[in-house]
A and B are shown apart, each in its own frame.
Chain A
């Protein structure tokens, strides 16, 4: 079982790259510990800015730095980053088109029992609705590394959501298929397509294996690039398989499943079922317990496919 959380990979990549690139700046809002950014903060103090518990200012300051040529990484809990500082993301980052990467840590229901104040189950909707803002939910540590290394090369806004805890690897070290803004085909199949993002890609893959044993051929797409979404992969899936099931750690409106349904409806109508968190405060529990309760885990995905196909 992998013990390396996605946030640790982000720390490691930024620490490594910032030695060569003095324009990389990381900003935190009293979040360096929860963000796994302590090693970076300690080893690159001249390229680290503490903003305190002030998420609005975190994003404005990051935009000001970016306007002066810095590559600004604002790292803060996804819940606060995607709503408290939503307007700063909209005006200072997206509309002003500044080179700010907003890293939402402990995303989705990662904080578990801390409750809805700390959950960020609306961040795809809030961030994705802004022109110029890209939204990425990488699945495992290996893909996270590919994503951050790739985003370091561009100068456009992006929001990246990662979970709090280590998740099982989806890919293999040394063999991580990755193309920016293209869904990764985790497994091919011809009966149903399961499109997942973030931590739930692992569940989608497991579900596909179980379905295979039941004689159902399931394709799995890792749609880490929620925006711009890989339209071609979605339309191809709609044309080649009889059912699309989307799986995401997000509320039911405005998430990845909504975007998939929009594309399918307009291009190649086929049945789309969205597995999401409910439009109500979620139950108390650890991430895995919450996923299981709402049918977002492998078992729930298999059940949905069997019922709907």
Chain B
């Protein structure tokens, strides 16, 4: 499978879903897409066939507001009916809520309030160690989310227990709802901060699937400590007028913007035909 092409297809789905539902966190969805594509289509041992297998890999989307990206990947992988998702997302009585919910096939844990997912992932990784299971645990955090103190409790514990079966990502797109992360609350240097707490730190171009894939493989081969991958991403990645604009944190495209975004993505997708 060509993962770059898949990532473009998922981006088109995300924009479709948000346009149709009239809501969604488009900027963060597009920055995290490549990480999800590498994990779900290449690196993680999880599929609709093994969702109850105790040895499956675990994924926690701590930045739960990027749920549209996660739902589009899970639907494409066949965890649930894509048409049902698109027909009902965030609508009256829909089971597809605007943040991940573990009643949905493929979602391990409810998230949405920031600063929870890594602690939960530490618990999952500890359970794997206790039971001598080979599964790995992945958590994706936002960079604005790193201001949550509870994350640093989890980071401390992850290093204390040498959880080398745990890999965290920081989606370092440098924007949050009110502006740049550095204006709102200094987030640099994530690399130094995690390293000081005892984690193996990898810093990569976060929308480059080859780089993501290499980093995940490196993390798998790192013994004795957990790994964090600081994914230096572009918020809104893949659509020119959405990229790097805080206003697109959860703005919904109008018809013209929708057409323009789909046109850009389709043109890029055509290169892979």
Q: Does B109 contact A (CB under 8 A)?
A: yes
Is there contact, CB below 8 Å, between B124 and A57? no
Is there contact, CB below 8 Å, between A57 and B121? no
| Contact flag A61-B123 (CB < 8 Å), given A67-B109, A92-B116 | yes
Q: Does B182 contact A (CB under 8 A)?
A: no
Q: Does A49 contact B (CB under 8 A)?
A: yes
Is there contact, CB below 8 Å, between A61 and B122? yes
Is there contact, CB below 8 Å, between A68 and B119? no
| Contact flag A54-B157 (CB < 8 Å), given A64-B126, A65-B124, A70-B127 | yes
Interface residues on A, range: 20 to 34
Is there contact, CB below 8 Å, between B113 and A62? no
Q: Does B2 contact A (CB under 8 A)?
A: no
Bound CA–CA A67/B156 (angstroms) = 21
Find residues 35-62 in chain A having any chain B CB closer than 8 Å to their own CB: 46-47, 49, 51-52, 54, 56-57, 59-62
Bound CA–CA A62/B160 (angstroms) = 16
Q: Is the contact region of chain A dominated by helix, strand, or loop, or is it mixed?
A: helix
Q: Does B243 contact A (CB under 8 A)?
A: no
Residue of A nearest to B155 (CB): A57
Bound CA–CA A56/B116 (angstroms) = 9
Most chain B C-beta atoms within 10 Å of own C-beta, residue among A65, A68, A97: A68
Find residues 209-240 in chain B having any chain A CB closer than 8 Å to their own CB: none
- Which chain B positions have C-beta within 8 A of A178? none
Is there contact, CB below 8 Å, between A68 and B109? no
Bound CA–CA A95/B149 (angstroms) = 21
Bound CA–CA A224/B149 (angstroms) = 35
Task: Choose one: B54, B112, B120, B125; the contact of A60 (CB below 8 Å).
Answer: B120
- Which chain A positions have C-beta within 8 A of B123? 60-68, 72
| Contact flag A96-B153 (CB < 8 Å), given A61-B119, A64-B124, A68-B123 | no
- Which chain A positions have C-beta within 8 A of B128? 68
- Which chain A positions have C-beta within 8 A of B115? 56
Bound CA–CA A59/B130 (angstroms) = 18
Which A residues fall within an 8 A CB radius of B?
25, 46-47, 49, 51-52, 54, 56-57, 59-70, 72, 87-88, 91-92, 95-97
